[in-house]
């Protein structure tokens, strides 16, 4: 039996035989971690051991077809994000910032699943889990709880109680006694994930594991962890009480679905009408406000963009953006001055997407531009307008390919007027001055 030492990058998962200060693949510094593996199944010089028997191989016609079986639960939006339910024998990874509600969401899912489920808490006591569960007001009693950090003990318990689903919260606090490293280390996280994947496929039990998130917003541990699992799902904060569940990887469904959730005193609930969730406290018909439609996954959401323009008292005007990238604001200000003759060089400019929403797509450009001009000229945008479109450097307005989906969501909420002009100057005149054209 021989030992081989190599080094694995915790950022990208690449391997090298010697330590280096900088990863040669992702160029990250001080990310190479030592990894030791014992080899006993290979004889010296390469090749398989003489005692190893070959495994059977199959042609396509010899493989039996099987319908993917899923475990359904009464959270439709979350179920859609997972691909239509929880696939049996799958290994799923949930990540998110501390306090975002990962444990609360998984407890809620657990209480909605009617089949036997084992919830392994490696961070909280059973008393803490009971208190959280009572706030969720569980409908059934099919959930079993285990406070344990030893991986071998967890698997032995799974063998005994035979659950259909196992939730492990979290993988960074579980340790395998077969390895000398501490819990949360590269070796522990990688080997435990590989062990869970193998066990899930052999037993048909579904495993959901929680992963910590680094300050950069990535799931902690080796990057290969995300390649081992069948699905990676992130919970993000959209406002004080709104959460967004999105899929970064899903072997059993689309990565285009998202779920909008609301954190309440008795747990996490699905938002029934997500298209208007960010407009609940909007004050209508005020200068500097524009409604836009954005796409999250396959769903259109309506969001308010607010702008404030005031004369500067400093030599250099301020530019402040919340929920909108500052470079996008600078670009739009330049286009307004050059193509629409709207100069804001002597004004402090403040822009934000309300309700804590983060506007990432280019289709919010036109709403930002119209909100700025509305605030500058103290003229409100008519309450029936929904404004979306990308603004180019030449002043052109480019409608997104999914404009009809956005219009459908806007129309359902009473917004029935949409910009038809192909340039920024025409859009300003159409919305703020003529404002009589119906789409």
> Could you tell me which residues are beta bridge partners of residue 9?
32
Residue ranges of the chain with per-residue pLDDT less than 70: 1-3, 11-13, 36-51, 66, 137-141, 214-223, 434-439
Residue 357, pLDDT score: 84
Beta-sheet pairing, 206-211 with 91-96: parallel
Query: What are the tens digits of pLDDT across the range 150-206?
Result: 999 999 999 999 999 999 998 989 999 887 777 877 778 888 999 999 999 999 999
Residue 435, pLDDT score: 47
Say how far apart CA 280 and CA 283 lie, in whole Å: 9
Q: Which two tokens stand for residue 6?
A: 């190599």
> Could you tell me which residues are beta bridge partners of residue 289?
306
Say how far apart CA 351 and CA 358 lie, in whole Å: 12
CB atoms closer than 10 angstroms to residue 198: 12
Half-sphere exposure of 256 (CA within 13 A, CB side): 5
Kindly report the length of the chain: 439
**Contact indicator for 129, 121 with CB cutoff of 8 Å:** yes
Average pLDDT, the chain: 86
Question: Who contacts 380 (Cβ-Cβ below 8 Å, separation ≥6)?
Answer: 285, 286, 287, 289, 374
User: Mind listing the domains of the chain with CATH numbers?
Assistant: 1-49 (no CATH), 68-272 (3.40.50.300), 277-434 (3.30.230.10)
**Contact indicator for 9, 28 with CB cutoff of 8 Å:** yes
Coil vs helix vs strand at 22: strand
Residue 279, pLDDT score: 84
**Contact indicator for 94, 233 with CB cutoff of 8 Å:** yes
Residue 144, pLDDT score: 93
Say how far apart CA 129 and CA 119 lie, in whole Å: 10
Residue 12, pLDDT score: 66
Helix ranges, 356-398 (H): 365-377
- Which residues of 212-334 form beta strands (DSSP E)? 231-237, 242-250, 258-264, 267-270, 289-296, 299-311, 319-322
Residue 28, pLDDT score: 81
């Amino acid at each position: 039996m021989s030992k081989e030492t190599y080094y694995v990058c915790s950022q990208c998962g690449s391997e090298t035989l010697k330590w280096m200060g900088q990863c040669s693949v992702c160029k990250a510094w001080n990310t190479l971690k030592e990894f030791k593996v014992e080899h006993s199944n290979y004889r010296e010089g390469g090749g398989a051991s003489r005692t190893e028997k070959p495994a059977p191989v199959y042609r396509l016609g010899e493989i039996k077809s099987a319908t993917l079986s899923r475990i359904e639960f009464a959270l439709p939006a979350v179920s859609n994000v997972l691909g239509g339910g929880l696939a049996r024998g799958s290994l799923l990874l949930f990540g998110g910032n501390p306090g975002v509600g990962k444990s609360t969401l998984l407890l809620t899912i657990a209480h909605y699943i009617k089949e036997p489920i084992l919830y392994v808490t490696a961070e909280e006591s059973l008393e803490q889990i009971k208190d959280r569960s009572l706030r969720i007001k569980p409908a059934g009693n099919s959930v079993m709880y285990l406070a344990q950090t030893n991986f071998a003990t967890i698997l032995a318990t799974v063998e005994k109680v035979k659950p259909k689903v196992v939730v492990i919260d979290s993988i960074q606090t579980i340790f395998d006694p077969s390895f000398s490293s501490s819990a949360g280390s590269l070796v522990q996280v990688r080997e435990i994930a590989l062990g869970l994947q193998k066990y899930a496929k052999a037993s048909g039990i579904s495993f959901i594991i929680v992963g910590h998130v680094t300050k950069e917003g990535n799931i902690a541990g080796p990057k290969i962890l995300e390649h081992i699992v069948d699905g990676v799902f992130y919970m993000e904060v959209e406002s004080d009480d709104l959460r967004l569940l999105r899929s970064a990887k899903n072997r059993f469904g689309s990565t285009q679905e998202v779920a909008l959730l609301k954190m309440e005193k008795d747990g996490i609930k699905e938002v029934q009408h997500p298209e208007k969730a960010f407009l609940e406290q909007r004050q209508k018909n005020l200068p500097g406000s524009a409604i836009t439609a954005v796409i999250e996954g396959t769903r259109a959401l309506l969001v308010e963009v607010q702008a404030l323009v005031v004369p500067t008292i400093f030599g250099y005007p301020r530019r402040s953006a919340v929920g909108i990238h500052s470079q996008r604001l600078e670009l739009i200000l330049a286009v307004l001055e050059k193509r629409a003759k709207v100069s804001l060089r002597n004004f402090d400019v403040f822009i934000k997407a309300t309700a804590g929403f983060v506007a990432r797509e280019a289709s919010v450009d036109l709403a930002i531009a119209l909100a700025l001009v509305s605030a500058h000229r103290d003229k409100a945008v008519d309450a029936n307008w929904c404004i979306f479109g990308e603004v180019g450097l030449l002043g052109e307005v480019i409608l997104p390919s999914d404009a009809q989906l956005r219009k459908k969501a806007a129309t359902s909420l009473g917004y029935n007027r949409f910009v038809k002009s192909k340039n920024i100057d025409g859009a300003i005149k159409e919305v703020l001055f003529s404002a009589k054209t119906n789409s």
